[in-house]
Amino acid sequence: MQKSKLESESKSFAALRGQYKTFHYHGCHLSQGDGCVVLRFDFAIDGLCDFHPETVILTDNLRICNAIDTPTAQKIAFSLGLAELISYWKCACPPQVVIHCGTLTKQEQNWWKRLWFHGLGEFFYRNQIETAQNDFLRLDVREAACCAPPKAFECADLRLVPVGGGKDSCVTLDLLRQTGKPLMGFTVNDQPARAETFAAAGFAPEQMLRARRKIDPTLLLRNREGFLNGHTPFSAIVAFLGLFAAYLVGADEIVLSNEASANESSVLGTDINHQYSKSFAFERDFHAYVRKSIGVPIRYFSLLRPFHELQIAKQFAALPQFHRAFKSCNVGSKQNIWCGKCAKCLFVALILAPFLPPDALAAIFGKDMFDDPDLLSEFRALLGQSQAKPFECVGTVNEAAAALGLTIARYESQSLPLPRLLAACRAFALPPHAAARLLGDFNPENLIPPMLQSQIERMFSFVRGSA
- Per residue in 402-436, pLDDT (tens digit) is 999 999 999 999 999 999 999 999 999 999 888 88
pLDDT tier at 467, thresholds 50, 70, 90: very low
Q: Report the largest interatomic distance among the alpha carbons of the chain, rounded to a whole angstrom.
A: 72
Residue ranges with strand state E in 359-463:
none
Instruction: Name which of 262, 286, 291, 231 is nearest 112 in CA terms.
Output: 286
Confidence at residue 147, expressed as pLDDT on a 0 to 100 scale: 58
pLDDT in tens, 384-400: 999 889 999 999 999 99
Residues pairing with 254 in the sheet: 160, 300
Task: Give dist(CA 432, CA 405) in Å, integer.
Answer: 6
Per-residue pLDDT for 165 more than 70? yes
Per-residue pLDDT for 6 more than 60? no
How many CB atoms sit inside 10 A of residue 437's CB?
A: 12
What separation in angstroms does the CA of 305 have from each of 30, 252, 273, 385? Answer: 34, 19, 17, 26
Residues pairing with 388 in the sheet: 267
pLDDT in tens, 84-117: 999 999 999 999 999 999 999 999 999 999 999 9
Q: Specify whether the CB–CB gap between 220 and 264 falls below 8 A.
A: no
Q: What is the mean pLDDT of the segment spanning 322-332?
A: 95
Task: Give dist(CA 303, CA 306) in Å, integer.
Answer: 8
Confidence at residue 357, expressed as pLDDT on a 0 to 100 scale: 96
Q: What is the mean pLDDT of the segment spanning 261-288?
A: 94
Beta-carbon contacts of 339 under 8 Å, excluding residues fewer than 6 positions away, are 329, 331, 332, 345
How many CB atoms sit inside 10 A of residue 358's CB?
A: 16
Strands 96-99 and 138-141: parallel
Give 3-state DSSP helix, strand, coil % of the chain, rounded to 5.
45, 15, 40
Confidence at residue 435, expressed as pLDDT on a 0 to 100 scale: 85
Angle ∠(125,242,444) on CA atoms, nearest 5: 70
Please return the burial class of 459, using the count of CB atoms within 10 Å of its CB with bins 0-12, 13-18 and 19+: buried
Confidence at residue 1, expressed as pLDDT on a 0 to 100 scale: 34
**What SS3 state is found at 130?**
coil
Confidence at residue 322, expressed as pLDDT on a 0 to 100 scale: 98
Residues pairing with 41 in the sheet: 28
Q: What are the sequence ranges of the domains in the chain?
A: 12-302, 339-441
Positive or negative: CA dihedral 108, 111, 116, 119: negative
What separation in angstroms does the CA of 427 have from each of 212, 366, 408? Answer: 46, 27, 11
Helices 453-463 and 167-176: crossing angle in degrees, nearest 10, is 130
Confidence at residue 5, expressed as pLDDT on a 0 to 100 scale: 36
Q: What is the mean pLDDT of the segment spanning 337-364?
A: 97
pLDDT tier at 23, thresholds 50, 70, 90: very high
pLDDT tier at 148, thresholds 50, 70, 90: low
Beta-carbon contacts of 247 under 8 Å, excluding residues fewer than 6 positions away, are 66, 72, 73, 76, 153, 296, 298
Q: What is the mean pLDDT of the segment spanning 155-169?
A: 97
